[in-house]
Amino acid sequence: MRSKGISHSAASGGSAIRNSHTNRTIDKPDLSRKTSRNIRVALIGNPNSGKTTLFNALTGAHQHVGNWPGVTVEKKEGSRRYHNHTIDIIDLPGTYSLTAFSIEEVVVRDFLFGEKPDVVVQVVDGSNLERNCYLTVQLIEMGIPMVIALNMYDELRDKGFDIDRKLLGQLYGCVVVPTVGSKGHGINALLKAIEETATGELIDPDAAPRDIQVNYGQEFEDSISKLQEKIAGTSDLNIPARWLAVRILEGDNDAMTRLTPELLSDPEFHRVLTESIERLNKLYPEGVEEMIADRRYGFIAGALQETLKRSGPGRRQLSEKADNFLTHRILGMPLFLFFLWLLFQGTFTLGEPPMGWIETGIGWLSTVLAAILPAGPLRNLLIEGVIGGVGGVLVFLPNIMILFLGISLLEDSGYMARAAFLMDKLMHSLGLHGKSFIPLIMGFGCSVPAIMASRTLESRRDRLLTILITPLMSCSARLPVYILFAGTFFPNNAGNIIFGLYIFGIVVAIGAGKVFSMTLFRARGAPFVMELPPYRMPTFWTTIRHMWDRSSEYLKKMGTVILAASIIVWFLGAFPLQEGESPAAEDSYIGQVGRTISPVLDPLGFDWQMGVALVAGLVAKEVVVSTLGVLYEVEKNDEAGTSEALTGALRNSGISQISALAFMLFVLIYTPCIAAIVAIWRESGSMWWAVFSMGYQTTLAWLIAFGAVQAGILLGLGV
Ligand code: GDP
Ligand code: MG
């Protein structure tokens, strides 16, 4: 499905080396240390990073200087012996990036693709890590076997820093060697790393090249996968399709020239491309290239935040200061919880007034309908079914919009990435892998794209683990249920209860992740980089647009799925007719369903309407509310379908506070909607994972709800 590293031919013997994370050890006998061979090495790096200095230190006097064919860019080549090998070294022109904008960049890029060196040594200026690593990220994305010479290490130390180079090597998938070119320090270690990388006999197997990807965010990733699918197998040999897809979306014409003529003349390919570019330009008005650069810098910042340590005094930057505060080991988590608490309090409190307005509007509408329509099934269908169902959910639109506004603000400002970073630390301390938390946090919005976002995880183990626990994050569709129940049964503490439910979802997700990683997925995951994109003041319109993008999905759902489900539930509740009359609720089709499942739900203190609502909620979680709306309306058959009526019906239903809490817990944990189940099926590649996920979540939901009820009884709260 994804490009698995690259293969490239060795200079001598013509044998192919294959580097991939599924096949880390490269054991070609003719490449081993004992056999002599040529290793072709290219030095690449920013101007003034110390390439030429290192080149001289590596090759001594054995060098000759020429020009690259056709251009006046200097070409330096040299060689030396190391163990039994001849190492041929080429000093590439200095570049900041691999976009083919300058002559130097074109030369470097053509060399990398055309000559395919065995090892690329990237010379990184240690005193300017962030900027130098931009090139590193591009090389990683190209899947090139690489060694990092962390040059100017003396300056890095002088600035008061130290770096965990082993961890950095694991994150980047290459060996990192500190060097001081001007003093000739680290040259032997560098040669050794070159040999190890060329022969595949790595001392630290975690530093082997593997399929590391920068996560460009859901929208961009969508376009990447689409293009990648088209490109895969059709491009020039050995260039990863994902890399080409990113470059093309970035507007890089040179990348286009690497595609095959067949693909270039395929109208379907151009359609996908144009569509993607138009969509991305709309989504990122500040520029797609800038967004990509942001993400790459985020990747770098994340890697450096993990590995770069201050060993002495030095000057700090503002965002670094903010990061030290917001991702602080002890302070970070309470701050994150506080922001979430604020968000859910706001969702409830600020949502109340506009909710009242919508309610009034709906009440007015049903009064009008009741007045103008003759009594009969049509009137009942419209008032009880459509208004009772859809109206019951529509009133929560303001709450949903506030939730999405908050999430957009947190995301656009760059804070969400910090939250994921914190969670990563927490997950690590539990022996789990934390990159999962990007999808998990997306799960606050909707499980479906969150499950799809697990694609950016590198190993299948991490992907499956994430897919299984993502639905436990409380998606926005569950919010109406909480607001209805918490508002009805805990009017003074509704915001806190909702906050508590969200946190409980996170806790259960982490717990389940821990259990799965100890049982189903025992292998250790690979280390990875958590991206830390730069902080940004969110711009008003971008935030509004992101909020609206999501809220309009909710509205769309209302007009389709929820409308349909409400009508179906109404019919099932109004039939079969008994002697020409509407049946008593318990005798309707849906009442019969309710009675059938009630033995399972009785211990939880749920009435049959709640049971039916849970079943109907499989369609979409909002349907839990619309179903209750329809069912309680059918039963009462008098008041117009507003959530006020629903609240009243719930109050009179005899449900206890503890059962209401158990119901919210059940909704939080039981299996997500059908769309999410399909997504799990598709992303895991097996129906059984979808079945398993439904099974474990529903069982867990029942147990937790039952536990809550029992605890309530013990505490004397009554059921
Ligand atoms: P190039 O543009 O990448 O080829 O960089 P050069 O090799 O020309 O080096 C640029 C400058 O950095 C020269 O003045 C070098 O002496 C100096 N330099 C190279 N390596 C180091 C190092 O490790 N530490 C320090 N302090 N200076 C270095
Ligand atoms: Mg130079």
pLDDT in tens, 278-303: 988 888 887 788 888 888 988 998 89
- Does ligand 1 have an atom closer than 6 angstroms to the CB of 51? yes
Note down the domain range covering 243. 214-310
Going by pLDDT thresholds of 50, 70 and 90, the confidence category of residue 717 is: low
Q: Per-residue pLDDT for 142 more than 50?
A: yes
Orientation of helix 589-601 relative to helix 563-574, angle to 10°:
100
Determine the pLDDT at residue 17. 34
413/553 same-domain check: yes
Same domain membership, residue 155 and residue 120: yes
Query: Does 83 fall in a domain?
Result: yes
pLDDT of residue 691: 94
HSE toward the beta carbon, residue 475, CA cutoff 13 A: 26
Is the CB of 182 inside a 6 Å radius of any atom of ligand 1? yes
Q: What is the pLDDT of residue 163?
A: 92
- 190 alpha carbon – ligand 2 mean position (Å): 18
User: Residue 642: what pLDDT?
Assistant: 55
Task: Note the pLDDT of residue 513.
Answer: 85
Predicted confidence at residue 264, as pLDDT, reads: 86
139 vs 432 pLDDT, higher one: 139
Q: Which of 481-495, 615-629, 654-668 has the lowest mean pLDDT?
A: 615-629
Residue 537, in any domain of the structure: no
* Mean pLDDT confidence for 245-253: 86
Task: Grade residue 61 by pLDDT with cuts at 50, 70 and 90.
Answer: low
The pLDDT of residue 24 is above 60:
no
Same-domain check for residues 267 and 363 = no
**CB-side neighbour CA atoms (13 Å) of 633:** 34
* CATH number of domain containing 143: 3.40.50.300
Give the mean model confidence (pLDDT) for residues 97-113. Answer: 82
**Residue 303 forms part of a structural domain:** yes
**pLDDT value for 5:** 35
Q: How far is the CA of 75 from the centre of ligand 1 (A)?
A: 18
Q: How confident is the model at residue 263 (pLDDT cuts 50, 70, 90)?
A: confident
**Is 44 part of a structural domain of the chain?**
yes
Residue nearest to atom 28 of ligand 1 (CA): 182
Residue 536 lies in a domain: no
Is residue 284 a part of any domain in this protein?
A: yes
Report if residue 87 sits inside a domain.
yes
Q: Are residues 259 and 169 in the same domain?
A: no
Domain boundary among 210, 239, 255: 210
Q: 322: closest CA among 543, 542, 537? A: 537
- Measured from the Cα of 51, ligand 1's closest atom is 3
Q: Are 444 and 474 in contact (CB under 8 A)?
A: yes
pLDDT band at 235, cuts 50/70/90? Answer: low
Mean pLDDT over 3-26 rounds to: 35
Confidence of residue 12 (pLDDT cuts 50, 70, 90): very low
Residue that the structure tokens 């010479």 belong to: 149
More confident residue, 336 or 14: 336
| Structure confidence at residue 637 (pLDDT) | 45
Most confident segment among 32-41, 66-75, 666-675: 666-675
Per the structure, the count of domains in the chain is: 3
Whether residue 294 sits in one domain with residue 199: no
Q: pTM higher than 0.85 for the full model?
A: no
The model's confidence at residue 636, banded by pLDDT at 50, 70 and 90, is low
- Say if ligand 1 is within 6 A of residue 50 CB: yes
pLDDT value for 455: 73
Question: Which of 260, 261, 216 is CA-nearest to residue 241?
Answer: 260
For residue 46, give the ligand 1 atom closest to its CA: 3
* Two structure tokens written together for 611: 């049971």
Q: 228 pLDDT band (50/70/90 cuts)?
A: confident
Pair 175, 69 in one domain: yes
Same domain flag for 297 and 174: no
For residue 77, list its beta bridge partners. Answer: 64, 90
Task: Ligand 1 pocket test: pick from 108, 182, 183 the residue with the most ligand atoms within 8 Å of its Cβ.
Answer: 182
- Pick from 698, 331, 348, 703: which is nearest to 499 by CA? 348
246 and 394 inside one domain: no
**Domain of residue 284, CATH code:** 1.10.287.1770
Residue 646: is its pLDDT beyond 50? yes
Per-residue pLDDT tens digits for 533-591: 777 777 787 788 878 877 887 788 888 888 888 888 888 877 777 777 777 767 788 88
Question: Does 248 lie in the same domain as 199?
Answer: no
Q: What is the mean pLDDT of residues 484-504?
A: 91
Q: How far is the CA of 156 from the centre of ligand 1 (A)?
A: 13
pLDDT in tens, 172-199: 989 999 999 989 999 999 999 999 999 8
Average pLDDT, the chain: 81
Residue 322 lies in a domain: no
Burial category of 1 from C-beta neighbours within 10 Å (exposed 0-12, middle 13-18, buried 19 and up): exposed
Q: Do residues 210 and 20 touch, judged by C-beta distance below 8 A?
A: yes
> So what's the pLDDT on residue 34?
54
- In this prediction, residue 482 carries a pLDDT of 93
Domain boundary residue among 167, 193, 210? 210
**Could you tell me which residue, 184 or 522, shows the higher pLDDT?**
184
Q: pLDDT, tens digit, for every residue of 32-57?
A: 455 677 899 999 999 889 998 899 89
- Within this chain, do residues 104 and 51 fall inside the same structural domain, yes or no? yes
The answer on 218 and 193 residing in a single domain is no
How large is the average pLDDT for residues 358-369? Answer: 86
What percent of the chain is predicted at pLDDT more than 70? 86
Same structural domain for residues 170 and 51? yes
Between 118-122, 181-185, 233-237, 503-507, the lowest mean confidence (pLDDT) is in 233-237
Q: What are the φ/ψ torsions at residue 34 (nearest 5 degrees)?
A: -65, -35
- Give the pLDDT score at 65: 74
Residue 634 identity:
V
Instruction: Record the tokens describing residue 507, joined without a space.
Output: 């806790």
